[in-house]
Structure 1
Amino acid sequence: MQLDDILFTADHVLSRVTPNQSPESITRYTGVGHYIESLRKIRKLEGVRVALAGHELEMEGWQERIDDTIGFHDGRLEKTFNLLEEPKAMADVSEGLFGKQMNYHILLAMLETGAHLEYLYERGRLLIMNIDEVEADPMVVTMYRQSE
């Protein structure tokens, strides 16, 4: 929301960290694709002097912060893709991205990993190696691999 020359970003754009992503298949209109698209839209706003997030520091260089955030997710997408030269389950990819996590951080890491896997899969960059088994039994662990 923009009020005069102030942009209120809530948790959408933060000064030091990036907000946790979750798969759109869990919550509609979330996901990495919608997030990046929305960042690009607000980056075009004019007349903004400073951005205020829901927490952390104010951002005078808010457009650069958006560029950094998009670049961060581009890098995470590539790292996710590169981890999948051989078939892996989401938990293995998550550990490759974030290392071994404990407690609530396991959930956050899995949500973030799932969002990036979903983005790559929807754009044809990943295959589900055991799709027939997954469709027949929802308890089967999905195995992902690069499609290229």
Structure 2
Amino acid sequence: MSTAADRHAWSRPEPEAVAPGVLRVPLPLPFDALRAVNVYVLDDGPGLTLVDGGWTLSESRDLLDAALAAQGAGVGDIARFLVTHLHRDHYTQAVALRRETGARVSLGAGERGSLDVMADRAAPFAAQVVGLHGAGAHDLADAIVGTAPQMSEEEFADFAAPDDWIADGERIEVGGRELTALETPGHTLGHLVYERDDALFAGDHVLPHITPSIGFEPGARPGALQRFLSSLALVRARPDRLLLPAHGPVAPSVHARVDELLDHHSARLDEIERVVLGGAATGAEAAGALTWTRRETKLEDLEPFHRMLAVLETDAHLEVLAAQGRLVRDADASGVLQHRAA
């Protein structure tokens, strides 16, 4: 049986060669749940291409400097960042380093709408608060509004627009080998994975130890879970490859983990259908009848942020169950979505 220490060994600040011309560099994150984000350094001949950039943190920058120096390089050798999605632990350090070095930053075209919402300075978690009210979690919505962090001007600057918007299917040559960008919406609307002949740079789409959060982004967009499941099916239909995830260790098979994720969501759909048939009418009630994380924690024992993600993920499953005709979903006079047997 693996221990917790074994599961987190991947996050130690120890760069690892994981494929020809590819160095995995785990960079730290300021919270325990994810611990680190993997940035992949690809030797592109005269320069370097990085898949994802990390979070703008002094400790992250120091570790990236050290990892590159060990390879006889520095941040000035980075020519381009290929960012999988807009979340700050993937995007912001790339933008910060662009200001310093002039490196190009590329992002999936599907993230444009989310960046536009951020440019309008919408309140943090505004879309999520709307979703919580729709799920009947009014007290939690009020708590989130009261505790949502305000972004500083410096942090906001790290969400500047990219140099390139990458389209689905776009092909990019790196180090004499071709990467194909595949649009895999679900975790975010514009999430990309980068497919190479021997490996998949999977971002947060396929993670080896956890199930990715669904649709956590600035704009409210129904259908996130169905998009995620369809994106998993898309990746499953491609040839199997080495899994290079953004969080967690490298794994030998993309297909094996995709199968586990599909099985998880199928079981979760069945479980949520049962709790609704047992009397849970709203997303908040259904989430409260479930347990969360590998520790099977009760909803009320989660921190407010993770409770928010749990309620919204439950609501995303309820949306799919209604689309499949397994439940009826409609709003009451106050706008709260109610669910019942079909």
TM-score higher than 0.5 here?
Answer: yes
Output the CA distance in 2 between the equivalents of 1:144 and 1:103: 24
Shift of 1:142: 2.5
Runs of 4+ in 1 over 3 A off after TM superposition: none
> Residue 143 of structure 1 aligns with which residue?
338
The one-letter amino acid paired with 1:113 is T
In the alignment, structure 2 segments of 5+ residues that lack a partner are 1-193, 292-297
> Residue 26 of structure 1 aligns with which residue?
220
Pick from 232, 252, 264: which aligns with 1:60? 252
Output the CA distance in 2 between the equivalents of 1:57 and 1:124: 38
> Residue 39 of structure 1 aligns with which residue?
232
Query: How many residue pairs end up in the alignment?
Result: 138
The one-letter amino acid paired with 1:144 is H
TM-score (norm 1): 0.83
Compute the RMSD of aligned alpha carbons.
Answer: 2.1
Partner of 1:83: helix, strand, or coil? helix
Pick from 276, 283, 288: which aligns with 1:95? 288
Output the CA distance in 2 between the equivalents of 1:87 and 1:69: 25
Structure with larger RCO (C-alpha < 8 A, sep 6+)? 1
Shift of 1:35: 1.0
Contact 1:6–1:51 (CA under 8 A) maintained in structure 2: yes
Contact 1:22–1:114 (CA under 8 A) maintained in structure 2: no
Shift of 1:87: 5.0
Contact 1:80–1:116 (CA under 8 A) maintained in structure 2: yes
Structure in which a larger fraction of residues adopt helix: 1
Cα shift readout 1:52-101 (whole Å, capped 9, x = no counterpart)? 11111111022111000000000000000000113522111011123223
Output the CA distance in 1 between the equivalents of 2:243 and 2:233: 15
Output the CA distance in 2 between the equivalents of 1:87 and 1:109: 15
Cα shift readout 1:117-139 (whole Å, capped 9, x = no counterpart)? 110112221123x64x33xx43x
Structure in which a larger fraction of residues adopt strand: 2
Output the CA distance in 2 between the equivalents of 1:112 and 1:95: 12
In the alignment, structure 1 segments of 5+ residues that lack a partner are none
Pick from 105, 109, 122: which aligns with 2:306? 105
Partner of 1:16: helix, strand, or coil? coil
Contact 2:322–2:328 (CA under 8 A) maintained in structure 1: yes
TM-score (norm 2): 0.38
The one-letter amino acid paired with 2:284 is A
Q: 1:105 to 1:87 in 2, by over 3 A?
A: closer
Partner of 1:145: helix, strand, or coil? strand
Output the CA distance in 1 between the equivalents of 2:307 and 2:286: 12
The one-letter amino acid paired with 1:146 is A
Contact 1:31–1:119 (CA under 8 A) maintained in structure 2: no
> Residue 82 of structure 1 aligns with which residue?
274
Work out which of the two has the higher radius of gyration on C-alpha atoms and give 1 or 2: 2
Pick from 300, 323, 326: which aligns with 1:122? 323
Contact 2:244–2:251 (CA under 8 A) maintained in structure 1: yes
Q: 1:47 to 1:72 in 2, by over 3 A?
A: closer
Contact 2:208–2:257 (CA under 8 A) maintained in structure 1: yes
The one-letter amino acid paired with 1:44 is A
Identity percentage of aligned residues: 28
> Which is further off, 74-83 or 34-43?
34-43
Q: 1:105 to 1:31 in 2, by over 3 A?
A: same
Partner of 1:52: helix, strand, or coil? strand
Shift of 1:20: 1.2
